[in-house]
Amino acid sequence: MLELDAFERNMQRMAFAVRGAGVRLRPHAKSHKCPEIALRQVAAGAVGICCQKTSEAEAMVDGGIRDVFVSNEVVGAAKLARLARLAQRARVSVCVDDAANAAELERSARAAGVELHVLVEINVGADRCGVEPGAASLALARAVAGAGHLRFAGLHAYHGAAQHLRKVSDRRAAIALATRKARATKALLESNGIPVETVTGAGTGTFLFEAASEVYNEIQPGSYVFMDADYGANDWSGFPDFEQSLFVLATVMSVPTADRAVVDAGLKASSVDSGLPQVVGRRGVEYVAASDEHGVLRIARGGDAPRLGEKVRLVPGHCDPTVNLHDWIVAVRGGKVEALWRVAARGAGY
């Protein structure tokens, strides 16, 4: 369930936060997997959207998005062929961190008769994907720039691990290090005759730092439209006041004792990789255990105990994988359903 007023305020606050900062906003669709939301983000000023998978990008293009960046590596002939065919209908960008993958991208783009925009992903501290800054990045950028059907489009420098560092000071320090690596790599490429038109990265937890860096000129926050319990645990001093807009609406299916109730929303309704859901508006009621189809609530003495059949709102621990569990987003305003939005890229993991 999506509270539309809060959702729209979140979009407005993001647009206001980056206005005049000299950065483009390219929100990440892996948070919502919903073309209706992506279209609203573009209407609010985003230049396009990010995806993580070829099939996710297909769902967005099918839904009307014309500029998608697969901010991830795509490997394998079948997936690369699909990505290249998608570039016949939209502007498609993709990451690379290996010369062999760049060669595969070139073959696929040539076969489809398209040009793919390719960004070299550099490791700026997350120790996940990404070639190391320096000479290795230069060599890979040269390989991309020298390919006939690839266009070197810049650097991808995303520090995902920094997004959920609780202290603002820790997040700022992590992005300062990422920025130094991105700046040095950009300077190295440009001193060797390779223009770097885009340095992209950033997430909901750090985007203000990248936007102020004078290195990044594009940011990729995604969760800001929804928020979740894990992000709610961060210190947000100095950041926009993003509101919780996404909830799982559950029904109390059992009240076996005075101190325990059970809702019909368990592991198949809310992701618990970042912690259990939180119960909204119920004093003394805590969600304490999840199984496939059950969520157990502990009720403190004197707590606001729910009755059998009552609805309970839950804040998911992690919004992105929670949305991926559902077919539809129910958009609500003032307690009334205003729209149903299909989660078109649900399960798009290839």
Query: 248-257 and 260-263: which strand pairing?
Result: antiparallel
SS3 of residue 23 by DSSP: coil
Query: Across the chain, where does the E strand assignment appear?
Result: 2-3, 24-25, 49-51, 67-73, 91-96, 116-121, 150-156, 199-201, 218-219, 248-257, 260-263, 278-279, 285-290, 295-299, 311-315, 328-333, 336-342
Render pLDDT for 285-324 as a digit per residue (tens, 0 to 9): 999 999 999 999 999 999 999 999 999 999 999 999 999 9
**CA–CA distance, 182 with 189 (Å, rounded to integer):** 11
Determine the average pLDDT of the residues in 27-44.
98
SS3 of residue 328 by DSSP: strand
Render pLDDT for 168-211 as a digit per residue (tens, 0 to 9): 999 999 999 999 999 999 999 999 999 999 999 999 999 999 99
Determine the average pLDDT of the residues in 219-242.
98
Render pLDDT for 57-70 as a digit per residue (tens, 0 to 9): 999 999 999 999 99
Whose tokens are 């394998």? That residue is 76
pLDDT value, residue 21: 93
Helices 77-86, 54-62: inter-axial angle, 10-degree rounding:
20
**CA–CA distance, 271 with 118 (Å, rounded to integer):** 32
Determine the average pLDDT of the residues in 149-177.
98
Determine the average pLDDT of the residues in 5-25.
96
pLDDT value, residue 233: 97
Max Cα distance, the chain (Å): 72
Number of CB atoms found within 10 A of residue 284's CB: 14
Confidence tier at 253 by pLDDT (50, 70, 90): very high
Nearest partner of 344 among 93, 83, 53, judged by Cα: 53
Q: How many Cα atoms occupy the beta-carbon half-sphere of 193 within 13 Å?
A: 3
pTM above 0.75, yes or no: yes
pLDDT value, residue 14: 97
What share of the chain in percent tops pLDDT 90? 99
pLDDT value, residue 308: 98
Tokens standing for residue 147:
């390919």
pLDDT value, residue 35: 98
CA distance from start to end of the chain: 26
The single-letter DSSP state of residue 160 is G
What share of the chain in percent tops pLDDT 70? 100
**CA–CA distance, 102 with 243 (Å, rounded to integer):** 40
Q: 238 CB contacts (<8 Å, ≥6 apart)?
A: 168, 208
Nearest partner of 118 among 85, 92, 79, judged by Cα: 92
pLDDT value, residue 171: 98
Tokens standing for residue 191:
């001193």
pLDDT value, residue 186: 98
pLDDT value, residue 200: 98
Sign of CA dihedral 291, 329, 234, 312: negative
**CA–CA distance, 331 with 315 (Å, rounded to integer):** 16
Tokens standing for residue 62:
């099918």
Determine the average pLDDT of the residues in 234-255.
98
pLDDT value, residue 18: 93
Nearest partner of 246 among 234, 261, 262, 230, judged by Cα: 230
Give the phi and the psi of residue 200 in degrees, each rounded to 5.
-125, 150
Q: What average pLDDT does the structure give for the chain? A: 97
CA distances to 10, 95, 143, 251 from 100, rounded to whole Å, are 41, 13, 10, 51
